[in-house]
Amino acid sequence: MKHKKKKTKGGDVMEISMNEVNRILNEYPKEQRYCLAIMQDIQHEFNYIPKEAMKALSEYLECPLSSLYSMATFYKALSLKPKGKHIIKLCDGTACHIRGSNTLVRGVERELHISPGETSEDGLFSLELVNCLGSCAMAPVMVVDGQYYGKMTMEKIPEILAKYREEVPAQ
Ligand code: FES
């Protein structure tokens, strides 16, 4: 199987399966209108879009790399940096802001040593600051992998994150 090595933020070496990238590419006709759909599939597979995959996509669609990078940076759902296994979203919409979402940001920063937009050294968590999640009655709201936690306090953060840490099987 063809692999390329990729350094993560924490310094670990992660293998990118080029076979997997090629499998995704081959599911689509070589037409530029499928560019976004292919990038979404790659993002889904690797949790981000590796540089090697961008290059392969550029060659496959005969599309300039610069256009692909513009597209990837434009769409919020796409990431060019490795994301954590678990995605934490902290709402900073008006209702959550009034009820102390700033404190929650500090709580997660203290627990994981990351700021919004960053991924923890162990690759387990990424933190994102988002706009209203549509659950203002539960403000302030934190969402981890799609699971909503309402009326959040700083004190609840360590316990909630511990649950997700425990999900990781021992190496
Ligand atoms: S403002 Fe946070 S859920 Fe609406």
- Mind listing the pLDDT tens digit for each residue in 1-40? 445 544 444 434 456 789 999 999 999 999 999 999 999 9
Mean pLDDT calculated for residue range 59-87 = 91
Mean pLDDT calculated for residue range 99-119 = 94
From 151, 164, 168, select the one nearest 87 (Cα to Cα): 164
Residue nearest to atom 1 of ligand 1 (CA): 93
- Provide the pLDDT for residue 8: 45
Q: Is 97 in the pocket of ligand 1 (CB under 6 A)?
A: no
Count of Cβ atoms closer than 10 Å to residue 6 Cβ: 16
Distance 98 CA to ligand 1 centre (A): 10
Confidence of residue 168 (pLDDT cuts 50, 70, 90): low
- Provide the pLDDT for residue 155: 95
Query: Which of 99, 102, 132, when mutated, tests ligand 1's pocket best, judged by the most ligand atoms within 8 Å of its CB?
Result: 132
What is the chain's mean pLDDT, rounded? 88
CB 91 within 8 A of CB 80: no
Q: Is 94 in the pocket of ligand 1 (CB under 6 A)?
A: yes
Q: Is 35 in the pocket of ligand 1 (CB under 6 A)?
A: no
CA-CA distance, 123 to 81, in Å (whole number)? 11
> Whole-model pTM above 0.75?
no
